């Protein structure tokens, strides 16, 4: 890790959030040879002090084909001046077949829990569905429509134009440590 | 089939080990002869860490080895998990995975020679970077039981458990039966 933690935040007593956990895996997809691109997005009042905010897991081709497991670690330290824009973790689940081709399997996001402690989260995913012709070609050839702007995964604007179909879910185990929230009167 | 496992507690950031072994090797065990087909190590872990910053929270990295049909030691699985951040007893089931060979020919030579793909430095599993180019096969699970005790977290201002207000336990479920009942 080449990001050093800033310790002068101790003197200003800002509220801090630590997110410590892992993306365990995914299940419920048509095929489980999967990998996942993930990222954490926050509002303007949040500052990332240490840790990677996005990444990509390894590709897993499981022996038992009912779930894929990545065990990808997440360790992030945020400092914040406000509650608006609480961190959201978003996922793009991709499928890799035996020829090495990548196909989008789903988008999903969930808010990082606001209570301190360990949380097991099941995040459902969806995939854009195209016209009937595109669906037929997707069935035989693979591929399929993808979002041009991935911000739409975690924002609500302009969603009404999207037609989607439900896919499997991503399992995340997150531990949340909060600091100095009670000094600002926040109850969580 | 017999297996042994090596474990390693990997920390980053400001955390330093105070006391206890942070690496070890278990005994060699065989699969149980009943339907459960379990390997039992029952290996004790006892370690203390000191820190001023939760960043770089300790992670437990496990790699399991076994003897293949030709009698050589091969990797049977790698697993990684964070030590839980809340005090108390936790039982965690870690999925184990092995790196996959790049091609079918390499897979065949690896099987014959007994030199399967391995991680050169297992610590890379504890980091988030560099994993996107690896292909793995997940097989099996490992169960670890943690009892975590903390000192002075509250004194430094850190909350790891919810505050004393009445918290309702909302079961996490999505589907036709989810009604979201709250109980105080």
* B110 vs B139: CA distance, rounded Å: 18
* A49 vs B158: CA distance, rounded Å: 16
- The reported pLDDT for the residue numbered B164 is 67
State the Cα angle at A68 between A63 and A69, rounded to 5°: 100
A182 contact B CB<8A: yes
Task: Give the closest residue to A142 by CA, choosing from A175, A72, A95, A87.
Answer: A95
B30 contact A CB<8A: no
Instruction: State the pLDDT confidence band at A89, using cuts at 50, 70 and 90.
Output: very high
Instruction: State the pLDDT confidence band at A78, using cuts at 50, 70 and 90.
Output: very high
**What HEC string does chain A produce?**
CCCCCCCCHHHHCCEEEEEEEEEEEEECCCCCCEEEEEEEECCCCEEEEECCCEEECCEECCCCCCEEEEEEEEEEEEEECCCCCCCEEEEEEEEECCCCCEEEEEEEEEECCCCCEEEEEEEEEEEECCCHHHHHHHHHHCCCCCCCCHHHHCCCCCHHHCCEEEEEEEEEEEEEEEECCHHHCCCC
Cα distance from A63 to chain B (closest Cα, Å)?
A: 6
Q: Report whether pLDDT(B15) > 60.
A: no
Give residue-wise pLDDT tens across range B138-151: 988 989 999 999 98
* B174 vs B78: CA distance, rounded Å: 32
Max intra-chain CA distance, chain A: 61
Side-chain half-sphere CA neighbours of B77 within 13 A: 21
Please name the residue that has the structure tokens 């933690």: A5
A167 contact B CB<8A: no
Instruction: State the pLDDT confidence band at B52, using cuts at 50, 70 and 90.
Output: confident
Q: Report whether pLDDT(B183) > 50.
A: no
* B28 vs B41: CA distance, rounded Å: 8
- Show residues of chain A in contact with B160, CB under 8 Å: 116-117, 175, 177
For range B77-95, the mean pLDDT: 91
Contact B107, B115 (CB under 8 A): no
Task: Give the closest residue to A58 by CA, choosing from B124, B110, B28, B61.
Answer: B124
Average per-residue pLDDT in chain B?
A: 79
Contact A69, A60 (CB under 8 A): yes
pTM: 0.84
Q: Report whether pLDDT(A4) > 50.
A: no
What is the separation of C-alpha A65 from the centre of its chain, rounded to a whole number of angstroms?
Answer: 22
Tokens of A158: 């302009």
ipTM over 0.85: no
For range B87-97, the mean pLDDT: 92
- The reported pLDDT for the residue numbered A131 is 86
Instruction: State the pLDDT confidence band at B91, using cuts at 50, 70 and 90.
Output: very high
- The reported pLDDT for the residue numbered B179 is 40
Instruction: State the pLDDT confidence band at A13, using cuts at 50, 70 and 90.
Output: confident
Residues 104 to 163 of B: which have CB under 8 A from any A CB? 125-129, 131-132, 134-140, 156-163
Q: Report whether pLDDT(A10) > 60.
A: no
- The reported pLDDT for the residue numbered A9 is 45
* B123 vs B134: CA distance, rounded Å: 14
B94 contact A CB<8A: yes
- Show residues of chain A in contact with B125, CB under 8 Å: 71, 73
Contact criterion met (CB < 8 Å) for B86 and A118:
yes
- Dihedral Cα B80, B39, B87, B45, nearest 10 deg: -80
Give residue-wise pLDDT tens across range A107-149: 999 999 999 999 999 999 999 988 888 888 888 888 888 998 8
Contact criterion met (CB < 8 Å) for B85 and A175:
yes
Contact criterion met (CB < 8 Å) for A71 and B94:
yes
Instruction: State the pLDDT confidence band at B175, using cuts at 50, 70 and 90.
Output: low
Strand, coil or helix: B113:
helix
Give residue-wise pLDDT tens across range A163-182: 899 999 999 999 999 999 98
- Show residues of chain A in contact with B84, CB under 8 Å: 118, 175
């Amino acid at each position: 890790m080449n990001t050093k933690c800033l310790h002068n935040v101790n003197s200003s007593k800002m509220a801090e959030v630590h997110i410590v956990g892992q993306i365990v895996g995914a299940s419920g997809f048509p095929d489980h040879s999967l990998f996942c691109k993930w990222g954490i997005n926050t509002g303007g009042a949040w500052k990332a002090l240490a840790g990677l905010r996005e990444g990509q897991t390894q590709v897993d081709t499981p022996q038992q084909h009912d779930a894929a497991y990545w065990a990808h670690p997440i360790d992030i330290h945020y400092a914040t001046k406000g509650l608006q824009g609480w961190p959201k973790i978003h996922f793009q689940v991709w499928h890799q077949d035996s020829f090495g081709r990548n196909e989008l399997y789903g988008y999903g996001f969930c808010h990082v829990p606001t209570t301190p402690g360990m949380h097991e989260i099941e995040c459902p995913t969806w995939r854009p569905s195209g016209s009937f012709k595109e669906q037929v070609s997707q069935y035989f050839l693979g591929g399929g429509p993808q979002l041009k702007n991935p911000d739409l995964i975690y924002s609500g604007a302009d969603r009404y134009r999207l037609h989607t179909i439900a896919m499997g879910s991503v399992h995340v185990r997150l531990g949340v440590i909060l600091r100095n929230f009670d000094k600002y009167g926040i109850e969580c | 089939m017999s297996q042994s496992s090596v474990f390693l507690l990997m920390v980053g950031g400001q955390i330093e080990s105070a006391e206890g072994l942070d690496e070890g090797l278990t005994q060699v065990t065989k699969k149980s002869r009943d339907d459960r087909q379990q390997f039992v190590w029952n290996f004790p872990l006892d370690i203390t860490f000191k820190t001023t910053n939760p960043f770089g929270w300790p992670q437990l990295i496990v790699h399991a080895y076994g003897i293949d049909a030709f009698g050589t030691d091969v990797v049977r699985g790698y697993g990684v998990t964070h030590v839980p951040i809340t005090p108390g007893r936790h039982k965690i089931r870690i999925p184990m995975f092995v790196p996959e060979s790049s091609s079918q020919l390499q897979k065949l030579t690896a099987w014959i020679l007994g030199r399967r793909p391995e991680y050169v430095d297992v610590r890379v599993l504890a980091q988030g970077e560099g994993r996107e180019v690896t292909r793995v096969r997940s097989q099996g699970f490992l169960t670890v039981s943690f009892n975590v005790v903390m000192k002075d977290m509250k004194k430094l201002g850190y909350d790891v458990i919810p505050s004393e207000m009445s918290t309702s336990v909302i079961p996490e479920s999505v589907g036709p039966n989810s009604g979201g009942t709250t109980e105080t």
